Amino acid sequence: MQILQIPLEISGSPLGTPEYLMSRCVRYLASAGKQSQSKSSGSAAVSKIWLQPIFLKLLIVWLADCRAAVSSFLEVPAHLPYMIELLNTVDSPANVHVSGLAAVLLGECVLYTTSIESAHSAHVLVDIISQQVGLSTYFAKWEALQNNHVFLMAISGNAHQKSLTKSSSSEIVLEEESGLSSGNGEVELETSDVGPVAGVYDTYLVKLIQKLEPIVRDTIVQLFSQPKAKASLLPSVPDRKGGESESDYINRLKELMQKQTTEMQVSFLS
């Protein structure tokens, strides 16, 4: 509770908006996505690819059974559209983990939201998931994550259980580098993605995901089948236009997020 209210930086301007840890974590998550798409080779490429799953793990653990954290997360207008974007991730070698963990985080938002306001209600969250992702696709993300061999290895206890310190992360990268990198320097993750991401799925996270999945599924199905009160939705994520490429669609979503963030800042300053 207290850490949600401690500003990391105080603006020099009386009208400046302080930045809190929750928003900074999401900002780092978005930055990690850009870094994972940058061209590099060897251990640097491996490390960048798994930055997003690591930050998603942090947020999932933070939001677990913590209604105050969920409320803080949903208060920022850009957070929910960004999670929807991550759910549709297809351009990353770690897409199964990124989209699957994003689905888990959204499931926590549905379970633990306390707001009765239309913008943050569980009904509205389910509507957004249904409209922008599709419930069958959403649940398929959970299934794909739990059927991924890295996740299954964590269940069986064969994955790395080292803490993700700087030294242990470097060791894991060096151990897996030869198996994760091809001769031309490109990362090959289809057959051996048990590098640093193995450290993401520790015992706590695996058990948490397995515990949440049936609860989230039952809750969403129940909410979706109930009559919905009249409510104005959050700014909706636009549908993909006919003939629009995947990259152009993602760029358009990012521009929308930036616009919403700017509008929120202008509104605060005014």
Would you list the DSSP string of 207-246?
HHHHHHHHHHHHHHHHHHHSPPPP-PPSSPPPPPPTT--H
Give the C-alpha separation, 215 to 212, whole Å. 5
- CATH (residue range 20-231): 1.25.10.10
Q: Helix 21-37 crosses helix 79-87 at what angle (to 10 degrees)?
A: 30
The residue ranges of every structural domain in the chain are 20-231
Q: What is the pLDDT of residue 181?
A: 39
State residue 146's pLDDT score.
94
> ∠ CA 111-207-145 to the nearest 5 degrees?
80
Instruction: Please state the rounded mean pLDDT for residues 112-123.
Output: 78
Q: What is the per-residue pLDDT for 187?
A: 40
Would you state the pLDDT for residue 88?
Answer: 83
Q: For residues 164-198, b (16+ Cβ closer than 10 Å) or e, as one string?
A: eeeeebeebbeebbeebbeeeeebebeeebbbbbb
**Nearest-CA neighbor of 106 among 92, 87, 131, 88?**
87
pLDDT of residue 243: 76
* pLDDT value of residue 5: 62
**Of residues 270 and 240, more confidently modeled:** 240
Q: For residue range 154-210, list pLDDT tens digits in order.
A: 887 744 444 444 444 444 334 433 334 334 433 444 434 455 566 788 889 999 999
pLDDT tens digits along 243-259: 777 777 777 777 777 66
Tens of pLDDT, residue by residue over 28-77, are 888 887 766 555 544 555 556 778 899 999 999 999 999 999 998 998 88
pLDDT tens digits along 83-109: 999 998 766 667 899 999 999 999 999
Amino acid letter for position 165 = T
Place of tokens 């400046």: 16
Residue 125 has pLDDT above 90, yes or no: yes
Task: Give me the mean pLDDT over the 144-153 stretch.
Answer: 90
Q: How far apart are CA 78 and CA 127, in angstroms?
A: 17
